[in-house]
């Protein structure tokens, strides 16, 4: 369990309540009391995406000056920060374990941001890559945003202990969590995923997204494929994955068996749980969210 200090009603530094937060132009969209903590939504002008970016943060009550571990959650296709915030049911577990929960958006937004008519490409489908192809390259830099800009922003404005970071995600966000952790060895003490896309090199969603954002050279895709990264030598200390057996995307898009095989070959300790009868929805995610939060807390 993450170590907690005595509770306090001040979950976020009061010096930052004025909605200006000048160092990064961070603005408070909303803050609500929930489970003895503060559920906030914030926005800022991103230097990586060149657009405003919105994210959600839950901060449990804590003693003044205390630093808490942090769990990043990356959402899936079509989602924003709001999907897990409204349906993920993480707050009670995070409050009990003393963990800050961060939920960013899945892509840049705005009238000037390029888009595609399909749900699985463009806005809402950033795939946590840094795009190199036009017209996507200028704005679709979700890898750098999640790996660099957002953590620095969180560290500057919230009471986080950046030596105790965990990461998780769902579907496209599970892909993001796995690949970000594998590319940044030692940064995350804990890694988990719900229904992750484990090998974009080998599924229609991934082939479409990586071709569009990165071009036709499949060798350049490998750094965005969890199974390929493991094959190329990247490692995790251990891993928790939950996957529903009634998930309509399991066979064609998710292919969980590929990750299981890659982890076994690399001797990675991976608990991959096939959950009978569960689908791809937030009914599934919310069912096992507490398990994941507690699993991360043990390692944070």
Catalytic-residue membership of 238: no
Q: Name the residue with tokens 């998780």.
A: 168
Whether 259 is covered by a domain: the verdict is yes
What gap in Å lies between CA 177 and CA 73, rounded to an integer?
8
**Which pair of tokens denotes residue 23?**
């160092």
Q: Residue 71's pLDDT is what?
A: 98
Q: Which residue has the higher pLDDT, 299 or 8?
A: 299
What does the pLDDT look like over 43-70, one tens digit per residue? 999 999 999 999 999 999 999 999 999 9
| Active-site residue, from 11, 195, 247, 292 | 247
pLDDT computed for residue 112 by the predictor: 95
Out of 171, 190, 195, 199, which one is annotated catalytic? 171
CATH label of the domain that carries residue 285: 3.40.50.1820
pLDDT of residue 11: 36
Identify whether 187 is part of a domain.
Answer: yes
For residue 280, indicate whether it is catalytic.
yes
Give the number of domains in the chain. 1
- Of the candidates 45, 47, 51, 50, the one whose C-alpha atom is nearest the C-alpha of residue 26 is 45
Q: How confident is the model at residue 16 (pLDDT cuts 50, 70, 90)?
A: very low
Domain annotation covers residue 103: yes
Angle at 238 between CA 233 and CA 239, to 5 degrees: 100
Mean pLDDT of the chain: 92
pLDDT single digits (tens) 67-83? 999 999 999 999 999 99
Beta bridge partners of 53: 44
- Please confirm whether the linkage preceding 135 is cis (ω < 30° from 0): yes
Q: What does the DSSP 8-state code read for residue 77? A: T
Cβ distance 271 to 239 under 8 Å? Answer: yes
Helices (H) and strands (E) in the chain, counts: 9, 9
Does 9 reside within a domain?
no
- The Cα-based distances of 90 to 103, 121, 192, 270 in angstroms read 11, 28, 14, 22
Cα 107 to the center of its chain, rounded Å: 12
The 10 Å Cβ neighbour count of residue 80 is 20
Domain that holds residue 188: 30-53+60-298
Residue scoring higher pLDDT (30 or 17): 30
pLDDT value of position 25: 85
Residue 62 annotated among the catalytic residues of the structure: no
Q: Which helix (DSSP H) or strand (DSSP E) does residue 229 occupy?
A: helix 226-231
Residue 76 has φ and ψ, to the nearest 5°, of -100, -175
In a domain, 1, yes or no: no
Q: 21 pLDDT exceeds 70?
A: no
Task: Label residue 86 by pLDDT band (50, 70, 90).
Answer: very high
Tell the residue number behind the tokens 């657009």, with chain if given. 51
Q: What is the pLDDT of residue 114?
A: 96
More confident residue, 235 or 8: 235
Distance, in Å, from the CA atom of 105 to the CA atom of 93, rounded to the nearest integer, reads 22
Catalytic residue among 44, 62, 170, 280: 280
User: 164 — alpha (psi -120 to 50), left (phi > 0) or beta?
Assistant: beta
Residue 198 maps to a domain: yes
What local confidence, expressed as pLDDT, does residue 262 receive?
98
Q: How far apart are CA 41 and CA 34, in angstroms?
A: 13
> Percentage of the chain surpassing pLDDT 70?
92
Q: Which residues contact 244 (CB under 8 A, 6 or more apart)?
A: 195, 250, 274, 275, 277, 278, 279, 280, 284
The 10s digit of each residue's pLDDT in 235-285 is: 999 999 999 999 999 999 999 999 999 999 999 999 999 999 999 999 999
User: Measuring CA to CA, which residue among 281, 294, 82, 289 is closest to residue 171?
Assistant: 281
**Residue 24 confidence class, pLDDT cut points 50, 70, 90:** low
pLDDT in tens, 107-140: 999 999 999 999 999 999 999 999 999 999 999 9
Q: How far is CA 41 from the centre of its chain?
A: 16
More confident residue, 16 or 155: 155
């Amino acid at each position: 369990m993450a170590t907690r200090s005595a509770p306090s009603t001040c979950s976020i530094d009061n010096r930052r309540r004025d909605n200006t937060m000048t160092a990064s132009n961070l603005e408070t969209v909303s803050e609500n009391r929930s489970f003895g903590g503060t559920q906030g939504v914030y926005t800022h002008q991103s230097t990586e995406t060149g657009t405003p970016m919105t994210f959600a943060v839950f901060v449990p009550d804590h003693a003044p000056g205390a630093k808490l571990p942090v769990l990043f959650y990356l959402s899936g296709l079509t989602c924003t920060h709001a999907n897990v915030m409204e349906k993920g049911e993480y707050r009670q577990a995070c409050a009990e374990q003393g963990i800050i929960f961060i939920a960013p958006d899945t892509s840049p937004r705005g009238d000037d941001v390029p888009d595609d008519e399909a749900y699985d490409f463009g806005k809402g489908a950033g795939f946590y890559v840094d795009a190199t192809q036009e017209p996507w390259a200028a704005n679709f830099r979700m890898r750098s945003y999640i790996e660099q800009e957002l953590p620095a922003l969180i560290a500057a404005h919230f009471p986080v202990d950046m030596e105790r970071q965990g990461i998780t995600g769902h579907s496209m966000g599970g892909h993001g969590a796995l690949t970000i952790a594998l590319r940044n060895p030692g940064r995350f003490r804990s890694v988990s995923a719900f229904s992750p896309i484990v090998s974009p090199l080998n599924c229609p969603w991934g082939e479409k997204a990586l071709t569009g954002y990165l071009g036709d050279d499949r060798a350049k895709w490998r750094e965005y494929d969890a199974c390929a990264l493991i094959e190329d030598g990247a490692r995790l200390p251990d891993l928790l994955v939950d996957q529903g057996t009634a998930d309509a995307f399991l066979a064609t898009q998710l292919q969980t068996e590929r990750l299981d095989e890659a982890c076994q070959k690399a001797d990675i300790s991976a608990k991959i749980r096939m959950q009978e009868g569960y689908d791809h929805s937030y009914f599934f995610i919310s069912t096992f969210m507490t398990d994941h939060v507690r699993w991360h807390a043990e390692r944070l």
